[in-house]
Amino acid sequence: MKNIVLFASGNGSNAEEIIKYFKNNNQSTVVAVFSNKQEAKVLDRAKNHNLPAVVFNKEQLNDGFVLEKLHQLQPDLIVLAGFLLKFPESILKEYPKVINIHPALLPKYGGKGMYGMNVHQAVLENKEKETGITIHYVNEHYDEGEFIFQQSVNIEDCKSAEEIANKIHELEHQYFPEVIGKLITNH
């Protein structure tokens, strides 16, 4: 059985889709959810699926606390599903299989501060005809790791960042669990 650990900072809709996708999988399973926010809705979602959750602060992400918790779980893959802190090199050295999903077609609209509605608002203001999702490996720089998968969507009919966000969420929920499944099966 291969273990997946999820990191999320917010609502956790992607995390929940991933948890459900692997719920009855006999090859891979989500073993825990990590969050840097005590009030994150993702923690309720983890609890509803009887998954252990680890809550930590920014210092604990970098001082060895999170790394120690990961050692206990021995993840085969770490998935960032709406995790907003920069992932530390100390963890990447020991767990190089870390992937992230970004709500745009990288390399456009990536980098520090480009997450969630910030991305959708920038896409809207630049009058883009399409946007999409990028699933990529995590390295020491924001949104610069090797691409694994991209999927685009036409947004010419979108009049607000919220409408763009809805289309992106549909793509994320449809493709993210599948791509994780293929990735972990091939490792």
Task: Convert the pLDDT of each residue in 100-123 to its tens digit.
Answer: 999 999 999 999 889 999 999 999
Which position among 49, 71, 102, 136 bears the catalytic label? 102
Q: By the 8 A CB rule, do 19 and 45 touch? A: yes
Q: Which residues of the chain have pLDDT under 50?
A: none
DSSP E strands in the chain: the ranges are 2-7, 28-35, 53-55, 77-80, 98-102, 130-137, 147-154
pTM for the complete prediction? 0.96
Known catalytic membership, residue 102: yes
pLDDT of residue 80: 97
